[in-house]
Structure formats: C-alpha cells, structure tokens
Amino acid sequence: MIFIYKAKKNLNEIIEGRIEGAGIEAVLEDLQRKGLVPVSVEPLISQPVSAAASKAETVSYPIGKWGLKQLVLFTQKLYNLINSRVELLSALRLLESNCKNRTEKILLGDIIKNIKDGLSFSGCLSRYPQYFPPLYINIIHTGEATGKLKDALIQLLDYLRRLEELKLKVKQALAYPIFMTLVGIGTIFVMLTFVLPRLAGMFEDFQAQLPMPTLILLNISNFLKAYWLFIIIFIAVIVFIFKYRRGGRESIFSRMKYYMPIAKDIVYKQSVANFSRSLSLLLKSGVNLLSALTDAGPIMGNPVYVSQLELVRRDISEGMPFSDALAKFKIFPEFFIQMVRVGEEGGRLDSVLADIAESYEKEIEADLKTVSSLIEPAIILVLGMVIGAMVIAMLLPIFNMNTIIGG
C-alpha cells in the first residue's frame, strides 16, 4: 500500500514524499529508521482520473464539519450495530438509509462506496479530516488491524463522552453568568433608549440647569438613539474579526482564553486532561508513543505547547525517555512529569495518564464551582451599581424639583 508522508529532516526542514508499506505503523518505523521524524502519514487513496470523473467526485464530496456531539452520535449508532453482530458494511448502509441529513448521507454513501472498492474503514475516514480527527482514525485503524473494531469503538465512545461531559460542565458553569450579563445589558439599553427619552421632555419643561449625571445620561441616550444601527454593525464586525479563523489557525477570540486571568488556568487544565486522556487511549490501543504524540499533541490547543511537543517527539526519537524529554520544556507541571516517569518505569504509562486525566478533570470541576460562585455575585453587584446609578441620575432632577421651580 502506498502512503503519502510529511516528516521533519531537521528542526527547520520538512520533506514530503511517497512510501510503500504494509500499514501506517510499518511506515512510521521505516521513516524513523531513516532518521526522520514523521509529522503525518496518510494512505494514497486517490488515483489519476479523467476530468469528468474528477468533477463528478467533487460534486458528491460532502462539505461541512462535525462537532463533538455529532461524532458521539455517529460512534454510538455504529457501535450499537456492530455490537449486535451486524457486519460493518451492512451497519453503514443502515445508518445511511436512516439518515435524514443530506451531507451526512453523502458522507456515508462515499464511505460505503470506497469500502466496496477495497479501501479499509480507517482509510475511508482519513479522507474526511473535518469529520474525523487523526486520533479517531488511528484508533479505528488499530481496531481493524487487531480484529477488535468493536472494542475500538467502545473506547472511542467512552473517550468522546468524557470530553463532551467536560465541555458541558464548562458551558453550564458559564451559562448563568452570561445570561445575567445579557439581561443586565438589555435592561440598561431599554432604560437609555425608551425610559430616559420620555423623562427628557419633562426635564426640558423645568427650563433649568440639570445635574451633571443627568446631562451625561441624556447625551448617552441621544447618541444611542441616533447611532444604534451603526453601533450594532460595528459590534458585529468586531465579533467577526475576533472569531474569524485564518489558515486553520484559531480565531483571536479563541486565543484570548490562553491569556485571560481566570480562564487561562481552567483552559490549561482542560488541555492537559484532554491530552492525557487522548494519549492514554492511543497507547492502550497499541499505538507507539511517537505516533500517539503526533495525534494527541494538537489537542493541547495552545500553539506554543504544540510546537514544544514536536521537540519532545524529536528527543524521544533520538532515544531520550518521555519523562526526561518533557522535563526539558515547561509544558507540564512537575507532578505530571513525575507521574509519567513512574508510569514509564512501571510499564503502565497508559493507565497513569488516565489517572492524571481523572485528577485534572476533578480539579476543573472544583475550579468551575468556585469561579461560578464568585462571578455570579460580582456580576449582580456591578449591574446593580450601574443600574442604580442610572436610576439616581434620572431621579435627581425630580428630587431637586422644588429648587429648580423656586429658581
């Protein structure tokens, strides 16, 4: 079988090429024997075709992306069928026939077609990186190679559910504070654009100098009334710029989480937990450490840590123990490195990594409860002070009515 590979020849040079091998593992070992550090290895599945055939294939190619939830649902349904002793091709056909989403139906149809043409299931999945991440494909490949596809699917299902559960806990912790903030902003906007203008006419009848807080509030209200559409457009443009992804990189908004005072610690722990869980799953499935790091490394998210993990892979390929390679870089805390060293020495690195992930997940849960309990009263206090100040500013002329009339 022919594979396309990218590999590092040295720190500054990446080479690409084709290589023949019995499988991904054999190719990786072959590249390492040649002194190369593999970056990616994919089966060559496309052969030269006519322009008409190429056009037809492009039309049927599904465009889209799966999130974690969709991947969990697909894995769950496929596992249920395989566990019920339904053959893989028949299981995929059943999923296709019961699928109501057009894009997913095209995806399943293309996978079925390629399996019938002799391509492996993992080889088919590798055609759609926007649907199936490298870790997912690698575990499926290992399950196929060992004849334990069902076990591979249940491992993936457990892994994906843990990720989904952790993600859900973060969302739930942030949901109420975000809701409170939006309600507060909405209340302030209504007061400035609807309530205050109605009081402004009454203030003008006084024909006297209004208090400075009231004048400031009236100016803000007039500005919002005159330019509210431009303000909404400006905010939309700013949000788009911050959320825009370029060249596969994270958006500015997404990268901010690595530097925000409160969020960065939780994000870091979540990254370490996800990395540990992913690496543990890959090692438990029989994937060698270098290949496992290739798939698990990007899960760290932070580009600085991902690039440093590439250097860790380089050191490991040169014969350095995993724990010693990690100790050279400040990616992980000393506790993590010591646990990895214990796992290496005891020959149970996969289970130690799973324990580390479990520990960090519990820490994240505790941190989220603490942060949530602090943020909620802080938001209420700030919004209360802002709205209270606005109410006082609106009522000041009324409190001073006797003085204004007397003047």
- Residue-wise pLDDT for 333-384, tens only, equals 888 999 999 988 888 888 999 999 889 888 888 888 888 788 888 888 988 8
CA distance 275 to 281: 10
Q: Give the tokens for residue 133.
A: 């991440």
**pLDDT band, very low/low/confident/very high, at 243 (cuts 50, 70, 90):** low
**pLDDT band, very low/low/confident/very high, at 22 (cuts 50, 70, 90):** low
Of 80-89, 171-180, 197-206, the least confident: 197-206
Query: How are beta strands 37-43 and 13-20 bridged, if at all?
Result: unpaired
DSSP category for residue 194 = I
- pTM of the model as a whole: 0.64
Cα distances (angstroms) measured from residue 145 to each of 16, 25, 121, 156, 285: 26, 10, 11, 16, 11
CA distance 141 to 150: 12
Q: Give the tokens for residue 16.
A: 């690409």
Cα distances (angstroms) measured from residue 291 to each of 16, 82, 140, 142, 333: 17, 27, 14, 12, 23
Predicted pLDDT of residue 352: 92
Predicted pLDDT of residue 85: 85
**pLDDT band, very low/low/confident/very high, at 50 (cuts 50, 70, 90):** very low
DSSP category for residue 249 = P
Predicted pLDDT of residue 1: 61
Q: Which residue has the tokens 């299981």?
A: 91
Angle at 300 between CA 298 and CA 124, to 5 degrees: 30
Percent of the chain with pLDDT over 70: 81
- Residue-wise pLDDT for 177-191, tens only, equals 888 888 888 888 888
**pLDDT band, very low/low/confident/very high, at 54 (cuts 50, 70, 90):** very low
Q: Where are the domains of the chain?
A: 1-44, 173-407
Q: Which residue blocks in 244-321 are alpha helix, DSSP H?
A: 252-255, 263-284, 289-296, 303-317
**pLDDT band, very low/low/confident/very high, at 58 (cuts 50, 70, 90):** very low
Predicted pLDDT of residue 372: 79
237's CB contacts (< 8 A; 6+ apart) are none
CA distance 183 to 243: 23
Reduced to 3 states (helix: H, G, I; strand: E, B; else coil), residue 339 is helix
Kindly write down the DSSP assignment for every residue of 74-89, as one continuous string: HHHHHHHHHHTT--HH
The whole-number average pLDDT for the span 20-31 is 71
Q: For all residues of the chain together, what is the average pLDDT?
A: 79
Query: Is residue 239 scored above 80 in pLDDT?
Result: no
How many CA atoms lie within 13 Å of 214's alpha carbon, on the beta-carbon side?
20
Specify the fold of 173-407.
Receptor-associated Protein (1.20.81)
- Residue-wise pLDDT for 140-178, tens only, equals 888 887 788 888 899 889 888 888 888 888 788 778 888
Predicted pLDDT of residue 66: 77
Q: Which residue has the tokens 């299902």?
A: 157
Query: Is residue 53 scored above 50 in pLDDT?
Result: no
Q: Which residue has the tokens 């040169």?
A: 318
User: First CA to last CA across the chain, in angstroms?
Assistant: 96
Query: Is residue 52 scored above 50 in pLDDT?
Result: no
The whole-number average pLDDT for the span 189-207 is 74
- 132-155 in b/e form (b: 16+ CB < 10 A) is bbbbbbbbbbbbbbeeebeebbbb
Cα distances (angstroms) measured from residue 246 to each of 14, 242, 251, 252, 334: 22, 11, 7, 10, 35
- Residue-wise pLDDT for 308-321, tens only, equals 888 888 888 888 88
Predicted pLDDT of residue 222: 85
CA distance 174 to 190: 24
More confident residue, 271 or 243: 271
**pLDDT band, very low/low/confident/very high, at 207 (cuts 50, 70, 90):** low
Cβ pair 280, 292 in contact under 8 A:
no
Q: Which residue has the tokens 């000041």?
A: 396
Rounded (10°) CA dihedral 92, 97, 99, 104: 60
Nearest-CA neighbor of 88 among 41, 125, 55?
125
Q: Give the tokens for residue 188.
A: 């302030």
CA distance 377 to 366: 18
More confident residue, 230 or 13: 230
The CB density around residue 390, as the number of other CB atoms within 10 Å, is 20
The CB density around residue 124, as the number of other CB atoms within 10 Å, is 23
Query: Is residue 31 scored above 80 in pLDDT?
Result: no
**pLDDT band, very low/low/confident/very high, at 10 (cuts 50, 70, 90):** low
Reduced to 3 states (helix: H, G, I; strand: E, B; else coil), residue 27 is helix
The whole-number average pLDDT for the span 247-265 is 62
Q: In DSSP terms, which residues pair with 41 in a beta bridge?
A: 5
CA distance 146 to 126: 19
Predicted pLDDT of residue 59: 33
Cβ pair 322, 347 in contact under 8 A:
no
Q: Give the tokens for residue 80.
A: 């249920």
